[in-house]
Amino acid sequence: MKYLLMTYGNQEKWAALSAEEWPAAIAAQEAFNTRYRESGELLGAYGLGDAAVSRLVRRQEGLPAVSDGPYLETKEYMASFYLLDCESEERALRIAADMPWADREPVELWPILHESPMAG
């Protein structure tokens, strides 16, 4: 079964890390990515741009109407997401708990209930 893991962040969190801490944080995340990519359970890992560069898109009269976004009620925004393919929810929960910093920040785990087939 496939699962989506999501992490959240904000500028305050990123600024709290010193320049000396960033290499270790990135290395820990890459070790996580490598471990689960090699097991075949990590299908993709994606870090997102800052909320300041995101956009909201609506359709008006058939054309895109674009505005700055997102309009958040909180200071947190999605920072990254990971696509897993695991044998069970228990395994997906174990992988989520293995995410670097999961002892300090929650990781959301969402089951993927439907996948549209891609033309091949």
Does any domain span residue 117? no
* Residue 101 is assigned to a structural domain of this protein: yes
Is 89 a member of any domain? yes
- Looking at residue 50, what is its pLDDT? 78
Q: Is residue 118 part of a domain?
A: no
What is the per-residue pLDDT across 56-112, written as a single tens digit (0 to 9) for each? Answer: 888 999 999 998 876 656 677 788 999 999 999 999 999 999 999 898 889 999 999
* 51 pLDDT tier (thresholds 50, 70, 90): confident
SS3 per-residue string spanning the chain: CEEEEEEEECHHHHHHCCCCCHHHHHHHHHHHHHHHHHCCCEEEEEECCCHHHCEEEEEECCEEEEEECCCCCCCCEEEEEEEEECCCHHHHHHHHHHCCCCCCCCCEEEECCCCCCCCC
User: Model-level pTM?
Assistant: 0.82
7: number of Cβ within 10 Å: 22
In a domain, 72, yes or no: yes
Task: Measure the CA–CA gap between 6 and 91, rounded to whole angstroms.
Answer: 16
**Residue 23 falls inside a structural domain:** yes
Q: Given phi > 0 = left and psi -120 to 50 = alpha, else beta, which region is 101?
A: left
Number of domains in the chain: 1
* Residue 26, domain CATH: 3.30.70.1060
> Residue 59: its pLDDT value, please?
94
Provide the pLDDT for residue 35.
97
pLDDT digits (tens, 9 = 90+) for 15-27: 788 889 889 989 9
